[in-house]
Structure 1
Amino acid sequence: MDTNFCTDAAGNPFARSQNSSFYVHYDQRNVFVDLRAHVPEKLLQLRSETRTIQATNNYNNLKVYLYFSAPILNSSTEILSSLSISKGTLLPITGENHGNRRFGFMVANISNIAIITISFDANSTISRQGTPVSPVAPVTFLYDSQRTAVRLSTTCRMRTREDNIPISIKFMKPVFGFNSSLITISGGRLQSFHEISRSIYAAAIQADDDVVSVSVPENVTGDVAGNKNLASNVLRVRHYTIPVISSVMSIFVTAIFLLTCFTAGLLTMSTASLQSVGAFSRPSSSLSSNPTRILFRSACHIQIFALSRWLPVTLPVEYYEFARSIEWSIPYFSLPWETGHVQPVMMGSSPTGTSNSFLSRTYDRIISCSFQLNKIAAAVYGSPLTPVEYRSFFESQSIIPEAECISDGLHSNGWRNFDRSMFWLAVIGGSLILLHAFLFFILKYKKRDSEKQGSYGALIFPRFEIFLVIVALPCICQAAAALVAGGTPSGVVVGILLLGVVAFLLLSLFLFLSVGITFGKLLQYKEVHREGQQFHWYQELIRVTLGPGKRGQWTWKNEANSVYLTMFGPLFEDLRGPPKYMVSQISGSNLSRQGGPIIASDDETEDAEAPFIQKLFGILRIYYTMLESARRATLGILAAILPCSEEAFHKEKGTVS
């Protein structure tokens, strides 16, 4: 009431006392709250978008405050119960609350790396005027106190002959500010540098010295939380040039083998042509076996040398390069439609293209190994990251290093090795089979016009195909084992089927040698033994244990099926089996007739049993083809399932420390 509002009966004016005023505050506005974390903020360009990131490595920065636009009636304990935290706990911070407008809390009990999300339930908060408190968005930040580890790797071997050495630099967490000037290189120079992602970088080093050393020093870059990196491993690669002796030996072996193939082919064709027209009055199986005897065993021995470079031993550079140069005997080459020089696991060589082509290939392949982010578009410039985005960008530890990713993408499933091996095996083997068929039909047409009818000699089917199958065993086993080691369902099925075929072939060979020769059901090996001939004691010892010096003759027990002697000849004809003596009753001059069979006729000989020791050695000798085939097949399997065994050559003086 205002003064002089009224008077009493005596005329005294109205006097207002101190408690005569009453104030009413009417306010219907909502109370707002601001949830803030005292964590440093950064604006970063992520996926072509500018985003706000809160990250720290300082434990003292883990403080959260709530600022209300108007005083509230709740206490600090009640406010704490309305807060929820994803990791750790919250502890109240004592201090000025500005009339119940400000409340502070400290984050405690968290790990070294944590993505923390704090949210506030406003429904349980009461303002002084009784109006509701508006909801507030949760706050998310990253706490990371671990220093960033970095590891260097390379797709080439620790000992390489290539001048360009690809290097992969893999950080365990995304880093910022890393560039090529921060790499320490000794023995070479940097050719190119490329950023694949924030945590993966690719570089190409040009080797200048025998040993190239690459490393990343510590404290040269940092992660989003401010942690500096640790020192990387020191990657040392030994660079060498191909020894002259290796090149000379490989060229010599290849030339000699090609010359042997050409000579054996001419002799085989000439002999088969003469046999087809009946030019030999008394044909012998040696006419078919002699031209190709050396060729068959030479091819098998060359394959052993080529496969031996996967043995788990340290090999000299000269031997390793020689073995690598004769890998055409497997065979294993790049496919015609493959572009560029891509390093195969089986070959163990580095890319030979330029650094730019390497980087472009690296980028194309590594993109499939990079972590996949959720497609959450940022509607506002500088909007904060969500918890899912924090995990995708900064917490994922499943990123595969670049070198491992490239190797895995190309070779882990085994199909590339399978395609290369089987493609060239089909091309080379198919071409030779077509050539065999062409020559066979020529002889068949020529034989039809001839008056005398003879055999096809060494061109009879499937003599040459048996030879090809035996030579192709290590290639098939290598391709099949690579598929099985790859682990893909289709690859495992195909690989097991191929290995089953190889096992069936070896078992069939074992049964043929055991039943047909050891038990004498199909074949018999005969040697000439002259009566009355005197020997010295040491000659007698050699003759009793190993047999006479003169080679015997294989015969098919059923003369009507004697054509099988030539047909299956590659399995046994160049070996001496368990002998059966043919005791000679004629002079020595008749036994050495050139061009005829060793056993002239049944009228000139009679059967006699050889000593037991000679039979035993003969039985052991006939299994040489099977054991030698099994050995090459085993080496082919080991070359596919144990690729790390090749590291024994490369790790000498080439280390990753």
Structure 2
Amino acid sequence: MGSLKLLLLLLYTYAAVILLHVLNSVESTVLIRFGQTPPPRSRYSYAVFRYSFETLDGSNACLNNTCSIHCQLDGQALSTCPAKVLVLKNLAVNRDHKFLLNVTTWNGDTNSSAYSWFIDTIPPTATISTKQNYTNAKRIAIDVKFSEPCTGRGGFKCVNSSDCDVIIKGPAHINPTSLRIIKPATHYKLDVVFSMKSTVGRVVIGIADNICADQAGNNFTRTNGSSIIIHFDRGPVLVDFWTAVPSYELVINGVPRTVLATNKIEDLKIFLDFNIPVGNTTEQILNALRVNGGSLVHINGTNQGNRRFAFELNVTARTEIITVELQSHLIIGRTGTPVSPAPSITFVYDLMEPGVRLSTNSPNVTKEPHINIIVEFTKPVFGFEVSMVKVTGGKITGLKELSKALYSMNVLAAAHNIVSVSIPAGKVNDISGNLNLESNKLEVKHYSIPPLSIALHSFVTAGILATSFATAVLSLSFANLGAIDTLASGSTNIVDIDPSKNLHGMVGHLQVFVLSDWHSVNQPIEYSETAKGLRWLIPHQKLPWKKDSASVWPNHVYLAEEELAMKLSCIPEGWPLNKKTSDATDSCLTNISCARLKDIEPKPGWLYGQHNVSIKKAPYGLALDSKEYFIYFLRGEPLSARDVVKKMENYKGWQDLEMNLFWLGVGGGSLVIAHVLLLLFLKWRTRTPIHGILSVPRFELFLLILMLPCISQSSAFVIRGGTTGGIITGALLLAIPAAFILSIIIFLIIAVFSGSLVQYKEVKHVASTEPWYAKLWFFFTTKTIKGKWFYREGLPSSFVSRFGILFESLKGPPLFVFVDQNDSNTTHKWSGSGHNGTGRIRAVSSDDSNEENEIPLPRRLLGCARSSYLVIDILRRVSLGIIAGAYSSKKLSQSIFALTITLVQFMYLFILKPFISKGVHLVESVSLLCEIGLFSISISMTSINPMEAEKLGYVMLAFLFITFVTQIIHEWYTLISSLLRLSHPQKNSLKLGLKFAAKGLVLPFLSRKHWSGVTPSSKTGLRHGLPLSPETELRRRDRKPPFIDPIVSMTATVVPALSPGSPIPGVTQRIDSMTVERNVSWQRTGEGKQPKGLELESKSEMKKLRALARASFSGDSNVKEASTSYTYRE
């Protein structure tokens, strides 16, 4: 080392001498030579300068100290400047120095020379750095940077792992082959490889001591930067993403779930806690958060070394389902690993207090002691109990939770009290802790059935049953008498009495009053209870196997559908976040498999302090998403009540259908079976076919007409239910009245309108004139007429008895028989015309009477319209039945429609006057007018106070009473007339008629030997004949005429009888009737020839025959008949 320093010193001296010589050789002849100078970079604080002065020839220029020498150091003159050697001490270190030497010879030559050097006492250092001190990589590159070139002692080197100036402590090693020289002697780069056996580790990297020296000879010195600590971590970066919103545990469908909800703005804080610090800034973390409602603001002072970040949420909406999502891929841990995904946070922020509405299916005034009340909250609540309900005038007997927002409560009303039910405010909480608002006040007045209603419907029921029983008894008696008369006489003459003809009219009008109970709004109690007491006429009664058969809450379901749009509009903006969530929600709203609110069970004590302040502490279970929050906590009722209430009541119309058809089947089926058994019994006893009023299908048609309102109402019930099976069933049921009405129309067209089977004939007086006031009276009522139906010759004798119920009491397209009532030679009397206007012509003069040949078209159309009155009546009953079942609640439109169709039928009756009997017309008119008054009052009931409504209720009862009394008087008049006719011709005696009727009842149970004495003989010895039935045909000769027009030809039948002094009294003789038949042709107007094959009889011969007939039957006018080619019917 010493020889090296000496060599360097010589080199520096030589260079300085050369430099000084060059600088001064031109300007001066004195040369300055430095024999010793400090090195250009020195680590010492002193310096030694040796110098000499020479001339150009090399001699000493300052011999004998003849020169003047001056020295300067760093620009300052030195006080002394020796002639040969100058030693400078205590020089400032770590800076440049400049030494200036100036010499002047004796002869004035001058020269100067300067020398600069740097004193460096700072040892070289090195720093180790890397791009990241935390990493998850397998290897990492480090940089070794020296503070200055350090080449002494061989400089920095790393030959292998054992000969390397970099020292590694920890699970890692240096890769020597990776050494890269970035800047010679100053900057190096090499790789550190971490052990794969460790997932997490700490590696210390440093540089060895005295590895090199700088130019000044300072040895390398280690500093803090000469070592570095690197952490490697290959594990995931986790984040605890939580909120300060309180959390609760709910068991939904048997699974514990975590629910987050609050109504406090201070709870809206979001926290992110990372397991290791992250490399992102607060602004970057904020940008990585997405929120669907409101805005996030950073809370200062919560960084904790980039391990915790806190934000506050500002929300303007009063109700919001808030979802906060963390885009974790945007956040990188300090090791370079992205943060693992974290589930989003969804919670409910709700400031809206839950509203509550009370509703009931009971009317405002009810007789039922048990009142079912629906408690409907606008959103789910928790902890609702009976004690929270305020009740006066009754007590709560049961509370059933249908869902967390829907409760069913049963209140037992005190007798004759007003039951008041309400829920005060602040009694129950929703999921967010909001207390409920005050509910509406529900008041229901309890009453007992008015005695007047009980008396009236009992009176009507007893009257109908008594009338029906009397009608059935008389019908059976008459049928038995007719069967025995047929058996005794060998003919088909049976009784011409049908007491049930007006019964279906009476029951039909009462059915209209019963159906009005389904039509009218706010009906008075008196009338409503009376109508309910008569529902057995439909029939609509409780099923025996069900405790309560009333339809429950159909109006509530339809109200829920109407409020659905309003409820959905309350969903806060921004939810759901995307279309996929919306579609999923819509699917769940219509899918019954979605969990219902009643499946939610809170843990004891929840909402009262026993809940976590955050999910971070102890999560209960899977948190709910936004869709579930809406379904379970914000959807409310009636959106979810649409399914819950329907599930409770299961109203599809089937229950009401069963109530109708069960009793209809029981009643109608029993009557049909009884009818069939009765027919079989009578046929077995009498061994003759049963005709007349018990013939098939007359009785079945009677029942079907009464069943049609019930069938049509039943079809409307199930169609209203909306199910596929219900719609199909309802359509099939509606096909029954439709097919029946169509069949009647077809029958009337074929049998009546065309006149091919039956013909209606009416007597018209030629010279009759009425005063104007009589015509006016007849316009408003009707005129008494003599009209009868005749059936075509060759038609089965049972035709009219089977199907006459469809037309026999109505007028038809008429053929007029013109009679001059002023001619004393003409006697015209229609016997047995009675209430139905049918009978036989006793005598009609063929000379003085004239019968029309054909019916003009206008009169035929008018007659067809009159015959169609039954179709109009059935259509009205079917329509009233349909509107009674088609509406879920009573509406004003029902009464308006019922009034309209009733007015149409009344105008039809008033204008056309379709009934033959004046009595039937008046009874029908009174009934329709009462129904019009009833529906008119029902329409006006919507805007009437209770006192006036009670008065109108009595008026409605009066209409019902008048209708019933009018109908039942007419029916009993018909029954009594039938009994009087039964006693004729002996005398008009009700007692005798009852005696004959009683005999008719016991006939089938007597031995046949007693049958011959049942009907008494007349004093003349001629057997008494019973009134003829509708299918009675007059005996005709076996020989048939070639062809006679059925309208203009007449047949006279004469039955001889014994004189008073003939056979012995008590002996019955049967004298066959002698028939004289003459064919008389009449020349038609406008015809120029007579039909072939017809013989003209002189009028004198006809007069002789009639005289002979009158002489043979003098004194007994009861057996004279006249006939056309249409057989007469009574």
TM-score when normalising by structure 2: 0.49
Correspondence 1:441-520 to 2 at 5 A? 441-448=680-687, 456-514=691-749, 516-520=751-755
Partners of 2:780 and 2:825 lie apart in 1 by 25
Partners of 2:864 and 2:781 lie apart in 1 by 12
Correspondence 1:532-543 to 2 at 5 A? 538-539=773-774
Contact 1:160 1:240 in 2 (8 A): yes
Q: Which of the residues 579, 596, 600 maps onto 2:841? A: 600
Query: Please, which runs of 5 or more residues in structure 2 have no aligned partner?
Result: 1-166, 168-205, 211-218, 556-591, 604-617, 893-937, 947-1130
For residue 420 of structure 2, give the secondary structure of its aligned residue in structure 1. strand
The letter of the residue matching 2:792 is K
Question: 2:596 corresponds to which residue?
Answer: 372
Q: Among all aligned residue pairs of Structure 1 and Structure 2, give the percentage whose two residues are the same amino acid.
A: 33
Q: Which of the residues 184, 188, 195 maps onto 2:401? A: 195
Correspondence 1:117-136 to 2 at 5 A? 117-130=323-336, 133-136=339-342
Contact 1:74 1:126 in 2 (8 A): yes
Question: 2:884 corresponds to which residue?
Answer: 639
The letter of the residue matching 2:231 is Y
Q: Which of the residues 218, 222, 240 maps onto 2:447? A: 240
Contact 1:410 1:416 in 2 (8 A): no
Question: 1:253 corresponds to which residue?
Answer: 460
Partners of 2:705 and 2:501 lie apart in 1 by 14
Query: Please, which runs of 5 or more residues in structure 1 have no aligned partner?
Result: 7-13, 349-367
Question: 2:479 corresponds to which residue?
Answer: 272
Closer/same/farther in 2, CA of residues 319 and 505 from structure 1, 3 Å limit: same
For residue 349 of structure 2, give the secondary structure of its aligned residue in structure 1. strand
Closer/same/farther in 2, CA of residues 132 and 173 from structure 1, 3 Å limit: same
Query: Does 1:220 find its partner at 2:427?
Result: yes
**Greater radius of gyration (CA):** 2
Question: 2:411 corresponds to which residue?
Answer: 205
The letter of the residue matching 2:840 is I
Partners of 2:642 and 2:224 lie apart in 1 by 86
Question: 2:268 corresponds to which residue?
Answer: 62
Shift of 1:129: 4.4
For residue 634 of structure 1, give the secondary structure of its aligned residue in structure 2. helix
Shift of 1:373: 7.6
Question: 2:293 corresponds to which residue?
Answer: 88
The letter of the residue matching 1:250 is H
Residues 452-508 of structure 1, C-alpha deviations (whole Å, 9 max, x = no match): x67521111111111111111111111112222222222212222322332232133
Shift of 1:190: 2.2
Q: Which of the residues 280, 287, 296 maps onto 2:496? A: 287
For residue 623 of structure 2, give the secondary structure of its aligned residue in structure 1. coil
Correspondence 1:332-343 to 2 at 5 A? 332-336=540-544, 338-343=545-550
Question: 1:321 corresponds to which residue?
Answer: 529
Question: 1:358 corresponds to which residue?
Answer: none
Contact 2:397 2:411 in 1 (8 A): yes
The letter of the residue matching 2:432 is A
Closer/same/farther in 2, CA of residues 35 and 402 from structure 1, 3 Å limit: closer
The letter of the residue matching 2:748 is L
Correspondence 1:608-619 to 2 at 5 A? 608=851
Question: 1:627 corresponds to which residue?
Answer: 872
Partners of 2:519 and 2:494 lie apart in 1 by 39
Correspondence 1:528-567 to 2 at 5 A? 528=763, 538-539=773-774, 549=784, 552-567=787-802
Shift of 1:570: 1.6
Closer/same/farther in 2, CA of residues 405 and 124 from structure 1, 3 Å limit: closer
Closer/same/farther in 2, CA of residues 127 and 54 from structure 1, 3 Å limit: same
Shift of 1:264: 0.9
Partners of 2:890 and 2:323 lie apart in 1 by 49
Residues 174-218 of structure 1, C-alpha deviations (whole Å, 9 max, x = no match): 212322222122332222333333222222112224432222222
Q: Provide the alpha-carbon RMSD of the alignment.
A: 4.3
Question: 1:77 corresponds to which residue?
Answer: 283
The letter of the residue matching 1:294 is N
Question: 1:9 corresponds to which residue?
Answer: none
Contact 1:580 1:607 in 2 (8 A): no
The letter of the residue matching 2:288 is S
Higher helix share: 1
Query: Does 1:428 find its partner at 2:652?
Result: no
Query: Does 1:417 find its partner at 2:656?
Result: yes
Contact 1:123 1:132 in 2 (8 A): yes
Question: 1:385 corresponds to which residue?
Answer: 623
Residues 392-445 of structure 1, C-alpha deviations (whole Å, 9 max, x = no match): 422334655769955676464222222332222222222211111112122322
Partners of 1:385 and 1:399 lie apart in 2 by 26
Contact 1:185 1:214 in 2 (8 A): yes
Closer/same/farther in 2, CA of residues 191 and 89 from structure 1, 3 Å limit: closer
Partners of 1:374 and 1:347 lie apart in 2 by 21
Correspondence 1:2-151 to 2 at 5 A? 19=224, 22-26=227-231, 28=233, 31-44=237-250, 51-85=257-291, 87-88=292-293, 90-96=295-301, 97-108=303-314, 111-130=317-336, 133-151=339-357
Residues 23-47 of structure 1, C-alpha deviations (whole Å, 9 max, x = no match): 5253536554222212123345555
Question: 2:505 corresponds to which residue?
Answer: 297
For residue 810 of structure 2, give the secondary structure of its aligned residue in structure 1. coil
Shift of 1:641: 0.7
Closer/same/farther in 2, CA of residues 125 and 620 from structure 1, 3 Å limit: closer
The letter of the residue matching 2:634 is E
Closer/same/farther in 2, CA of residues 428 and 23 from structure 1, 3 Å limit: same
Alignment: residue pair count:
622
Q: Which of the residues 306, 311, 322 maps onto 2:519? A: 311
Closer/same/farther in 2, CA of residues 374 and 495 from structure 1, 3 Å limit: closer
Contact 1:54 1:142 in 2 (8 A): yes
The letter of the residue matching 1:641 is A
- More deviation in 518-527 or 421-430? 518-527
Closer/same/farther in 2, CA of residues 631 and 347 from structure 1, 3 Å limit: farther
Shift of 1:56: 1.2
Question: 1:361 corresponds to which residue?
Answer: none
Partners of 1:138 and 1:396 lie apart in 2 by 22
Shift of 1:603: 5.4
Contact 1:346 1:417 in 2 (8 A): no
Closer/same/farther in 2, CA of residues 98 and 406 from structure 1, 3 Å limit: closer
Contact 2:552 2:651 in 1 (8 A): no
- More deviation in 504-513 or 476-485? 504-513
Question: 1:355 corresponds to which residue?
Answer: none
Partners of 2:387 and 2:656 lie apart in 1 by 38
Q: Which has the higher contact order (CA 8 A, sep 6+)?
A: 1
Question: 2:130 corresponds to which residue?
Answer: none
Closer/same/farther in 2, CA of residues 622 and 270 from structure 1, 3 Å limit: same
For residue 106 of structure 1, give the secondary structure of its aligned residue in structure 2. strand
Partners of 1:100 and 1:564 lie apart in 2 by 106
TM-score when normalising by structure 1: 0.81
Contact 1:168 1:402 in 2 (8 A): no
The letter of the residue matching 1:487 is G
- More deviation in 505-514 or 321-330? 505-514
Partners of 1:215 and 1:403 lie apart in 2 by 23
Contact 1:524 1:556 in 2 (8 A): yes
Partners of 1:459 and 1:56 lie apart in 2 by 80
The letter of the residue matching 1:220 is K
